[in-house]
């Protein structure tokens, strides 16, 4: 019997009392600062998210995976940590919302893997109260509190008051108020690829991060089981080529989705509808992930070659899987945030319009003959259609009906973002002509 192998790695779960405290900024700053010191850094995002991981990948220089005890599952979370620990000196896990928010929460993830928490505190409107806040975060669960990053600190004196209030909890680092904040829009941060100076911003954050070197050097390591690797997938999509839309209009997909398709044996062919590229001729199936079609509606509306190719593929019976932004681009029309209405591909009868309020949010699961395909929803648009849904997802944890799944010929379309690794057999069926 072979003894399991382990690695002792510095692992921190970065969390806060609520959203808006600066978790992503702090995680990006720490990642970039450590990379500039020559350390190998891997970053994960806790919970469903597409945009924060793009920024964190840019900051760390390595792909950012998803850790979520429900959507991803304990076994796959463990295997991802094992793979990261093989090639990392430091692993950072950015939490979701507040430390104890959600079911499961970021605190649940930290406790499941014995990972200490680094709390980010927006100190812009407080001083000594920061200590009370962090002690409450530690003791409520409880969780192991490794220390604190104080964000938006005004001065050295301000930092000193915060440090004194922490008592037995270290103040690991401080960040000053930022003159140039990372820009946001309705679905979150602006895509890093849209910012010409993104690396300058990240370097500035790293330079402004004031570490307490003594406290950082005292941080304990976490033991990671290196043998907790995933089992290989059955090649259910062997010799199949899947076209994947990938550009600024279709940018929201989990890296694990592409890894799952490849693990199932598929070859991936990327193309850009926004650049008016037709579906690659070798494709056996089409994947249209989510993104920002509402920001590029005029260009998509005029992309004649793209629209003609998807209409022809649908008429020929090619399996087409469209998620959220993909659904929007295949409707009859799309009304953008300014109210302008643009003709889309017209495969899904109906009309999509942007709205000011969230139309869908939260973790959901889709029951299939192969098991439950898990994922989430997050969108500001709504579809008006006379099509009768083939099925609905179930919201987690309530079980209430969630997003509609529409089936129009070979097209499967929904606002539901599936995490493919949660049920690879169901994914293989989605991209197969039999659909079974």
In this structure, the number of other CB atoms found within 10 A of the CB of residue 191 comes to: 20
In this structure, the number of other CB atoms found within 10 A of the CB of residue 259 comes to: 16
- CA–chain centroid gap for 162, Å, is 32
Question: What radius of gyration do the chain's Cα atoms show?
Answer: 23
Which of 46, 77, 324, 423 is catalytic? The answer is 324
Q: How far is CA 59 from CA 28, 40, 53, 148, 236, in A?
A: 5, 12, 10, 20, 36
Q: How far is CA 254 from CA 64, 294, 417, 422, in A?
A: 9, 20, 9, 12
CA neighbor of 255 nearest in space, from 42, 91, 426, 21 = 42
And the tokens for 351? 């009309």
Contacts of 7 by beta carbon, 8 Å cutoff, 6+ apart: 85, 86, 223, 224, 226
The Cα 274–Cα 146 span in angstroms is 45
Q: Which helix (DSSP H) or strand (DSSP E) does residue 396 occupy?
A: none
The Cα 12–Cα 141 span in angstroms is 17
Query: CA torsion sign, 224 to 227 to 231 to 232?
Result: positive
CA neighbor of 264 nearest in space, from 74, 421, 65 = 421
First to last CA, the chain: 40
Would residue 324 show up in a list of annotated catalytic residues for this protein? yes
And the tokens for 367? 């029951």
Catalytic residues: 324
């Amino acid at each position: 019997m072979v003894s399991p192998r382990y690695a002792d790695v510095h692992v921190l779960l970065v969390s806060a009392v609520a959203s808006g405290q600066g978790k992503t900024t702090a995680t990006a700053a720490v990642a970039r600062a450590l990379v500039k010191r020559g350390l190998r850094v891997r970053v994960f995002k806790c919970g469903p998210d597409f945009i924060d991981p793009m920024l964190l990948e840019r900051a760390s220089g390595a792909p950012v995976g998803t850790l979520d005890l429900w959507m991803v599952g304990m076994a796959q979370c463990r295997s991802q940590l094992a793979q990261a620990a093989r090639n990392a000196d430091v692993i950072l896990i950015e939490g979701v919302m507040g430390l104890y928010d959600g079911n499961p929460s970021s605190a649940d993830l930290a406790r499941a893997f014995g990972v200490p928490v680094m709390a980010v505190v927006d100190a812009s409107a407080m001083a000594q109260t920061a200590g009370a806040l962090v002690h409450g975060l530690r003791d409520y669960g409880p969780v192991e509190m490794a220390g604190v990053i104080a964000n938006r600190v005004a001065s050295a004196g301000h930092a000193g008051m915060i440090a004194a209030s922490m008592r037995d909890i270290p103040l690991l680092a401080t960040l000053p108020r930022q003159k140039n904040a990372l820009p946001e829009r309705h679905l979150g941060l602006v895509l890093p690829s849209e910012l010409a100076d993104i690396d300058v911003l990240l370097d500035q954050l790293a330079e402004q991060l004031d570490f307490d070197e003594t406290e950082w050097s005292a941080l304990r390591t976490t033991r990671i089981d290196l043998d907790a690797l995933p089992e290989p997938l059955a090649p259910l999509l062997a010799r199949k080529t899947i076209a994947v839309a990938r550009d600024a209009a279709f940018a929201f997909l989990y890296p694990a989705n592409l890894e799952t398709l490849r693990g199932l044996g598929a070859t991936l062919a990327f193309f850009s509808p926004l650049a008016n590229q037709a579906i690659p001729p070798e494709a056996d199936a089409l994947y249209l992930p989510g993104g920002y079609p509402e920001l590029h509606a005029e260009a998509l509306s005029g992309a004649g070659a793209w629209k003609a190719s998807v209409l022809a593929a649908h008429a020929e019976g090619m399996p087409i899987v469209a998620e959220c932004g993909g659904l929007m681009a295949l409707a009859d029309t799309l009304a953008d945030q300014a109210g302008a209405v643009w003709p889309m591909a017209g495969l899904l009868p109906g009309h999509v319009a942007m709205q000011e309020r969230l139309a869908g949010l939260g973790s959901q699961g889709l029951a299939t003959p192969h098991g439950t395909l898990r994922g989430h929803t997050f969108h500001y648009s709504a579809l008006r259609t006379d099509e009768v849904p083939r099925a609905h997802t179930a919201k987690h944890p309530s079980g209430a009906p969630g997003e509609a799944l529409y089936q129009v010929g070979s097209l499967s379309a929904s606002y539901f973002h599936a995490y493919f690794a949660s049920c690879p057999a169901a994914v293989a069926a989605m991209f197969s002509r039999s659909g079974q």
